[in-house]
Amino acid sequence: MSQSARSYWDPLWAAGRRYRQLSDAEIALLAGHLSPGRGRPALDIGCGDGGLARHLHHRLGYHTTGIDSAPTAITLAASQDAAPGHGPEWRCMDITTDALGTLPHPAYAVITCRLVYRWLDDKPAFLDRVRQLLAPGGTFWVVTEVVGRRTVADPCERLGITANEAETLTAGWSVTHTADLDVLRCYALRP
């Protein structure tokens, strides 16, 4: 993807495009890999309209920040809070280019990235940024489609990551757990 993330994604959100919701199976996998939040900070990268960030915040007890480069997605996410200040913090931010020091916390017990990793051009640089933000003992939770899992052909574009892209994702962590959900793979990575 050569154009900026914002110029690619914002028109899609504005045109009404929406993405796969969290399922009960995905929620159960997440609960099995994360300990209770107890108010610790979590960061959801590419939060979209905020379903996973709200789940981390309200159900798992993390003090959650959701960031997305698409202003329309952030507006949609914030519009679903019961009242201002009663949900995750929402920030319009490009994780690949914006200063990490503008985030509300210097380190996060959990960082999540759902249906986003595939779209990032410079994956090693992105992973370096994640490592800078992950607290010691923290968990990086990634959900992504992997190639070769669809029984029906991908209609228009490659949605899954390749074996090489998966290797880039999983290299260098002390703990790597994976779990499969139909065409998706979930990764729990620890430094």
Ligand X SMILES: C[S@@+](CC[C@H](N)C(=O)[O-])C[C@H]1O[C@@H](n2cnc3c(N)ncnc32)[C@H](O)[C@@H]1O
CB of 49 to ligand X, least distance (A): 7
Binds ligand X by CB under 6 A, chosen from 58, 71, 96, 181? 96
d(CA 127, CA 54): 24
Of 42, 73, 130, 188, the residue at the interface with ligand X (CB under 6 A) is: 73
Q: Which is nearer to ligand X, 149 or 175 (CB)?
A: 149
Token pair for 104: 């509300």
Interface residue with ligand X among 77, 116, 127, 186 (CB under 6 A) is 116
Cβ proximity to ligand X, 78 vs 119, nearer residue? 119
* Long-range residue pairs from 170-174, CB within 8 A, at least 24 positions apart, any chain: 173/140
The Cα 51–Cα 44 span in angstroms is 10
- With CA atoms as reference, report the closest residue to 76 among 30, 13, 150, 170: 13
Looking at residue 46, what DSSP letter applies? Answer: T
Could you list the residues that contact ligand X (CB under 6 A)?
5, 9, 19, 46-48, 51-52, 67-70, 73, 94-96, 114-116, 119
